[in-house]
Structure 1
Amino acid sequence: MASFEQHCQETQNILGKRYEAVHKWLDEFFLVPPYGTRHRRLRHHEAGIREVERLFGLEAAKAARIHILMDLRMEGWRDGDPFPCDEAHFVDLGLW
């Protein structure tokens, strides 16, 4: 799992900004029971990206996609695999 700093550095490298608030929002439930490491099902999908756009703007949505792709790839997801649409689809894909 990528760390907060790794996510910030990746968006800094690609978009020129750290987007700390976006990374915190995406991982808000990481240490919250009952989710823990299964927190990704809540916001790491297209519906989560749309919510980031609504809350933080279009550029922030790009940062959210980078964050999510980084996490998915660390779990074995590959380009070309279905990208999760929402929480139910995330679970159906067996991602967590």
Structure 2
Amino acid sequence: MERPWAKVFTRAFHALKKNPLHEQNQLAGGNMPSYEQHCRESMEMFGQAFGEVHLWLDEFAGNPPYGMRHRKLRHHEAGIRDVARLFGLQAAEAARRHIISDLTQEGWSEADPFPRDHAHYVSLGLF
């Protein structure tokens, strides 16, 4: 069975682990949920870690030109639809939870509109 995400998963995992911003965030007790925290939350909620989903969502984290403003690329409804297409419907639910966890760190609440796409994410004043 072909897994279209396998190369992305491997590349993103190694990039995340080598990313100094990821390490600094972890050492400083940063408010950004870590890969491990996202996986743990998915295990508790869905019975699977969905590591490949979390890596795909955060693939551009800390990398130029986005830095930690990578979320506008995939942390929205369009990104969730992409996850459903690449990884399946249950993975899409894990992606939604990941996005909600990240957005709440930026001051977003569930009473606020959920970002539809890149442009809408930016128009909401999110990073």
TM-score (norm 2): 0.74
For 1:3, which of 28, 34, 39 is the aligned residue? 34
Aligned counterparts, 1:3-82, within 5 A: 3-82=34-113
Distance (whole Å) between structure 2 residues aligned to residue 60 and residue 32 of structure 1: 24
Distance (whole Å) between structure 1 residues aligned to residue 67 and residue 49 of structure 2: 24
2:125 is aligned with what amino acid? G
2:84 is aligned with what amino acid? E
Distance (whole Å) between structure 1 residues aligned to residue 82 and residue 65 of structure 2: 22
Distance (whole Å) between structure 2 residues aligned to residue 19 and residue 62 of structure 1: 10
Count of residue pairs brought into register by the alignment: 96
| Greater RCO structure (CA 8 Å; 6+ sep) | 1
Give identity over the alignment, percent.
62
TM-score (norm 1): 0.98
